[in-house]
Each structure stands twice: as structure tokens, then as C-alpha cells.
A and B are shown apart, each in its own frame.
Chain A
Amino acid sequence: MREAVIYTEKLTKRFGDFTAVDHISFEVGAGEIFGFLGANGAGKTTAMRILCGLSRPTSGKGTVAGFDIYRQSEEIKKHIGYMSQKFSLYEDLKVWENMRLFGGIYGMSSRQIGEKTETILKELGFADERNTMVRKLPLGWKQKLAFSVSIFHEPKIVFLDEPTGGVDPVTRRQFWELIYQAANRGITVFVTTHYMDEAEYCGRISIMVDGRIEALDSPAALRQQFRAANMEDVFQQLARKAVRKVD
């Protein structure tokens, strides 16, 4: 495997006596598209938030982009992008203003931001929406915008938490094209999803059950291992073992 950009060893997060993430160990190589699967409440979002420096782990080791998750979370943040499950760009700012804000926070100059904004608006076919208030965009467009903003500063790794939730199939398709474009530029993609067809698009996937990683390999290898026709079946076999109640 290529050089690991994400590395964890027995990473654990407890909230009181509830273990949300239970000793997970895995590596993600540079440039990979890594699918992070699991039922609702399996601990995906918690694990992702730890890797992004939003949440401190209880125990275990981990590095992201070569920086320690305990001591260097602010360094990590310079090299990653993050798109949360809930849309979290500023709805009361215009499309270009959101890009300018985040570009600026990551230390880009006004000129760099201007050029990059043009490129992205053209790529997304958003040129006419430059001055639209984000609040007024339809959900599918908001998701594409959120993704573009998360990789605006060309990070090493981008974390996507259910980026296509609630989006129509056509837009999902376009969204994955954007993900591939980013991966081709060398950005490592760490993505959670509930759609099993999307799992097939990933290079490797892990499946989490009750806070633990129960399977980790390429989609083809997993199908073989579980003697399943498709990923849906693999997921069902594993998810059925879950004892943790959702919500």
C-alpha cells in the first residue's frame, strides 16, 4: 500500500459508560477513496470527528496527515477538508462569499481565492449562482457547494460524512464524479455512506458494527469473503449482528 495518511491503533471514544468507538485500528493510503460504512449509531461520525480534531479520543493512537491526533489537532486541520452530515455553510452569505471566507481562513490570498472561485463555479456550472444567497439553493446544489468548499484549499485528505444523504440519483452520480476528480488530483477521500451502490465506487471499505470495525477490504474481496452477490448482502450479514439499539 501507498504511504498511510490516516493511521489509527485501538482508537476508542467513550461517553460515560457508552463506548461509541471501540478499539478501531486501520490505515488509509494516500490518494485512496476509503468508504466508511455502518448502520446508524455504529460510531462512524464519532470516529470521523476524532480524526478531524473535533473530538478528543478516550484512548488509542492515531495520526492524520502525519500529525498526532492528541497533540497536533490544529496542524491536522491545516491539511484536511471536512463536510459534515448537516449542511453547515453560511446560509446568509452568497456562494462566492462562502468560498472567500473559507479560502481566507486557510490562508489563501484574495487573488488566489478569486481565481479558484472562477474555476470551481465553471466546473460546477454554478457561474450564474455566484451571487445567490446559499439559503436559496436546492439541496443537491448545496451539497455540491459544500464539497467544493471543503476541498477549496486543496487539502491532503477530505472527510465526507454522508455527503449524498437525501439527494436524487442524478445528483448523486454527479457528486461521485466530483469525488473522483478530487481523488485524481491526489486528494485522499474518506467517505461515509448508507448507499451500497456508492460503496462499490470506493477503493476499500470498512464496515463498523457497534463501534468496532468488523470487515475491511476492497468491495470485491468482501463479496467473496462473505459469499455475497453484492455489497448490500455483505452489509446485511454484518449489520444483523448488531446488538446496540439505534437512537
Chain B
Amino acid sequence: MLRFLLEKEFKQLLRNAFIPRLILFMPVMILLVLPWAANQEIRDLRLSVVDNDHSTFSGRLIRKAVASGYFRLADVSASDEEALQAVESGKADIILNIEPGFETNLVREGAAKVMVSANAVNSMKGGLGSYYLSSILNDYAVELRKEAGLQAGGKIAPVITLASQGRFNPHLDYKVFMIPALVVMLLTILGGFLPALNIVGEKETGTIEQINVTPVNKFVFILAKLIPYWVTGFVVLTICILIAAGGYGLVPKGNLAVLYLFAAIYVLSVSGLGLVISNHSNTLQQAMFVMWFFTLIFVLMSGLFTPITSMPDWAQAITAINPLRYFVEVMRMIYLKGSSLSDLLPHLLVLAAFALFCSLWAVLSYRKNS
């Protein structure tokens, strides 16, 4: 019986004017565009400078800030008020205010003041901007101290410098971090939405009635619905792996077979969830909205964009029942750290439990009578 149902599902899937194109086109678009766009590195902050000193030292500081690559000199104001206006009108993001007598104070007293004010409407941008600027100031201070020490011929005051090394992503490339997670998002969208719209679509056209009046086994029927999306998942994953390797030179450090194993289990759980939603919906719109709701929450609470450890405790507790969270972790671990199956065993068990739970629920929620 399964064979005949599978023939039907695959024929319908391939004959659809839209879905096969979507399956091919969507991974390409998302992987080529989003790693560049969904990037949380802060660059090109517009700097407004209020230089009340106009000295060699203040000039050097400004050049140093601009040379860092994080800042672009957007505005030079005569006073703090003027600079604030530049921020208010959206011309500048961050203000560097250098006090009058900056150079004199530095030379005579060994200390001087600057003020950094950032537009924190986007708290991430504001915070990182002032952090970058203060690191530049720090650097500058160390530089000046060294020079002063050399000139005086005396001992240099002890300074601690920090050398940090990014393991697994040595160039701290945000794209490398995002691509494995974007693959998860794609599998969630394609593996979740297509089944969510499937059974309810049959309800709307009325064909489900003709099926329900046959002695078809519920388990077999749902299995025939799941398998095509499972295969779709493999196709999507393969396209993604090829684009990641070809477009970004990113190849999984871990075993490819382990990657496919996890994807297979993961797709079963999202497709199962999609079918559950489809079974409980009466219209395509309803299924669409409910699936959208779950996908949005799953994606935002998965650690895909924002780290889970910085969420409040209650939110962290919720992520424990989010299959996406586990799969995002797995993908990053396999891709970047090269983790092996034994490292990932706890994840495997949790995801297998999700897959089993969702598929069984899909079978149980499919009702042949009312």
C-alpha cells in the first residue's frame, strides 16, 4: 500500500508548478545573500569629532580611530551641542569629544580626558561602538606611554596587553558562524511548511474524503506524507553543503555522514510537527499562521541569531523544548569544531526523541472520521 501512496505523493510534489523550484531556489538565495546581510559585525560607524584642542596629539587620535576601519569621519563639530544635532539628524552614530588642552595635559600631567557618547537606540551598535572606541583610546594611551618612556629614557610603566585567539573560527568571521545555522533555518522552513500545507490542502480540495473512506492505514498514510519531505531535506542539505563549500570555502570539519544522520532525524521532527498542524487545521490560512508562529519562535529562541546563554533563565528553559536549538548547536559543532558522533550523543538522543514524538503525534492526530 505504501508504494502506491508514495508514487502519488512524489508525482504530486514534482508536478507542482512551484514547489520543486522553491526547493532548489530558496537554499541558493538564502545562502548567497543572508550570510552577508544578517551580519552582526559593526563596521563603518559614523564618527562625529569635537576637537577642542586642535593639537598634534588630538589629530593623531582621530586618524587612529578612522584607520581602525570601524569608524568613518562623518562630521566635525565645534561644540558638543552641534555634534548632538548631527546624531539627532542621523548624520552620526557616535561622538568623540576631546577636551581643550588635551595635549598639554597629557604631556604635563600624564592624563587627559575625552568623552565618548554613542547613539544607543540600537543598543548593540552603540555598545560595540563605544567599546571599539575605548579600545582604540587604550591602545593610543599605551603607545604614548611607550614614546614618553623612550624619550625620558626611564622605565616604562608596566602595562598588561591581552592577546586573544578565536578557536575554531580564527578570523572571527561572522559568516562562518551563520552559514551552518542558516542551513538549519532552511530545513525548518522547507521541511516544516510544505507538510503543514499538505494535508489541509487535501481537506480543502476534498480529496482527503476519498482517502478517509478507504481502509488505508493511518500510519502508512502519514509515512507516505513524511518520506517525500525527508528526501526534500536531503536535497536541500546537499545544495547547502555545495554552496557553503563553493561560495565560502566552508567545509564541515566533522564527518559528513554524521551531518546527514542528524539532518534526517531533524527533518522528521519538523515535518511531523508540520503534519500535526495540518491535521488540526481546517484551512490553509490557519495552518500557515500556526506554522509561522512556531517557526518564528523556534528560530528566535534557537541561538541562531542571539546566544542562548545571554537569555534570561526562563527563556533558556523554553529553549530546552526547541528542536531547532539542538540542531543549530549540532551543525555548528560539526561544521566548525569537527565534533564526532560520540561528542554529539546527547543531542542525538534528544533529537531522536523529538522526531519520534512528532511523527507519532502526526499519526495520532490524523483522524479518518469526525
> Which A residues have a C-beta under 8 Å from some C-beta of B?
52-56, 73-75, 77-78, 80, 82, 84, 86-93, 97, 100-107
Say whether B212 faces chain A, with CB atoms less than 8 Å apart: yes
The answer on a CB contact under 8 Å between A93 and B11 is yes
The answer on a CB contact under 8 Å between A84 and B205 is no
Say whether B8 faces chain A, with CB atoms less than 8 Å apart: yes
The answer on a CB contact under 8 Å between B370 and A97 is no
**Chain B residues within an 8 Å CB radius of A89:** 207, 210
**Chain A residues within an 8 Å CB radius of B4:** 100-101, 103-105
User: Quick one: given A88-B205, A88-B207, A105-B4, are A53 and B213 in contact (CB under 8 Å)?
Assistant: yes
Please indicate which of the listed interface residues A52, A56, A92, A93 has the most CB atoms of chain B within 10 Å of its own CB: A92
- Chain B, 8-21, contact with A by CB distance < 8 Å: what is the 0/1 string? 10011001100000
The answer on a CB contact under 8 Å between B12 and A105 is no
Say whether B216 faces chain A, with CB atoms less than 8 Å apart: yes
**Chain B residues within an 8 Å CB radius of A77:** 213-215
Closest Cβ–Cβ distance, residue A226 to chain B (whole Å): 34
The answer on a CB contact under 8 Å between B215 and A101 is no
**Chain A residues within an 8 Å CB radius of B60:** none
The answer on a CB contact under 8 Å between A54 and B8 is no
The answer on a CB contact under 8 Å between A105 and B1 is yes
- Complex: A36 Cα to B54 Cα, angstroms: 100
The answer on a CB contact under 8 Å between B213 and A80 is yes
**Chain A residues within an 8 Å CB radius of B368:** 53-54, 73-74
Report 25 cross-chain contacts, Cβ distance below 8 Å, ordered by A residue. A54-B209, A54-B213, A56-B369, A56-B370, A77-B214, A82-B213, A84-B210, A86-B206, A86-B209, A88-B208, A89-B207, A90-B8, A93-B11, A93-B12, A97-B8, A97-B11, A100-B4, A101-B4, A102-B210, A102-B214, A105-B1, A105-B5, A105-B211, A105-B216, A107-B1
**Chain B residues within an 8 Å CB radius of A91:** 205
User: Quick one: given A56-B370, A105-B4, are A92 and B15 in contact (CB under 8 Å)?
Assistant: yes
- Complex: A91 Cα to B213 Cα, angstroms: 18
Prevailing SS type, chain B contact patch: helix
Please indicate which of the listed interface residues A93, A105, A107 has the most CB atoms of chain B within 10 Å of its own CB: A105
Please indicate which of the listed interface residues A56, A77, A100 has the most CB atoms of chain B within 10 Å of its own CB: A77
Instruction: Report the nearest B residue to A82, measured CB to CB.
Output: B213
Instruction: Report the nearest A residue to B211, measured CB to CB.
Output: A105
Q: Which 3 pairs of residues, A with B, have the shortest CB-CB distance?
A: A104-B4, A82-B213, A88-B206
Say whether B171 faces chain A, with CB atoms less than 8 Å apart: no
- Complex: A92 Cα to B10 Cα, angstroms: 12
Closest Cβ–Cβ distance, residue B52 to chain A (whole Å): 75
A54: contacting residue among B205, B207, B212, B215, CB under 8 A: B212
The answer on a CB contact under 8 Å between A55 and B370 is yes
User: Which residues 191-215 of B sit at the A interface, judged by CB distance below 8 A?
Assistant: 205-215
- Chain B, 207-244, contact with A by CB distance < 8 Å: what is the 0/1 string? 11111111110000000000000000000000000000
- Complex: A86 Cα to B213 Cα, angstroms: 14
User: Which residues 325-356 of B sit at the A interface, judged by CB distance below 8 A?
Assistant: none
**Chain B residues within an 8 Å CB radius of A82:** 210, 213
**Chain A residues within an 8 Å CB radius of B209:** 54, 84, 86, 88
**Chain B residues within an 8 Å CB radius of A53:** 213, 368-369
Beyond A97-B11, A101-B8: 18 further Cβ-contacts under 8 Å? A52-B213, A54-B368, A56-B370, A74-B215, A74-B368, A77-B214, A80-B213, A82-B210, A88-B207, A88-B208, A90-B8, A101-B4, A101-B7, A102-B214, A104-B4, A105-B211, A106-B214, A107-B1
- Complex: A236 Cα to B1 Cα, angstroms: 47
Closest Cβ–Cβ distance, residue B228 to chain A (whole Å): 14
User: Which residues 161-214 of B sit at the A interface, judged by CB distance below 8 A?
Assistant: 205-214
A105: contacting residue among B15, B206, B214, CB under 8 A: B214
- Complex: A55 Cα to B369 Cα, angstroms: 5
The answer on a CB contact under 8 Å between B1 and A104 is yes
Instruction: Report the nearest A residue to B220, measured CB to CB.
Output: A105
Please indicate which of the listed interface residues A75, A80, A91, A93 has the most CB atoms of chain B within 10 Å of its own CB: A93
Say whether B108 faces chain A, with CB atoms less than 8 Å apart: no
The answer on a CB contact under 8 Å between B207 and A101 is no
- Complex: A208 Cα to B210 Cα, angstroms: 25
The answer on a CB contact under 8 Å between A54 and B370 is yes
The answer on a CB contact under 8 Å between A93 and B8 is yes
- Complex: A214 Cα to B348 Cα, angstroms: 64
- Complex: A88 Cα to B370 Cα, angstroms: 18
The answer on a CB contact under 8 Å between B207 and A90 is yes
- Complex: A107 Cα to B216 Cα, angstroms: 9
**Chain A residues within an 8 Å CB radius of B215:** 74-75, 77-78, 105-106
- Chain B, 290-324, contact with A by CB distance < 8 Å: what is the 0/1 string? 00000000000000000000000000000000000
**Chain A residues within an 8 Å CB radius of B207:** 88-90
Say whether B155 faces chain A, with CB atoms less than 8 Å apart: no
Instruction: Report the nearest A residue to B370, measured CB to CB.
Output: A55
- Complex: A131 Cα to B338 Cα, angstroms: 51
**Chain A residues within an 8 Å CB radius of B8:** 90, 93, 97, 101
Closest Cβ–Cβ distance, residue A149 to chain B (whole Å): 8
**Chain B residues within an 8 Å CB radius of A74:** 215, 368
- Complex: A103 Cα to B1 Cα, angstroms: 9
**Chain B residues within an 8 Å CB radius of A93:** 8, 11-12
- Complex: A73 Cα to B12 Cα, angstroms: 29
Say whether B3 faces chain A, with CB atoms less than 8 Å apart: yes
**Chain B residues within an 8 Å CB radius of A90:** 8, 12, 207
- Complex: A102 Cα to B216 Cα, angstroms: 10
- Complex: A37 Cα to B16 Cα, angstroms: 40
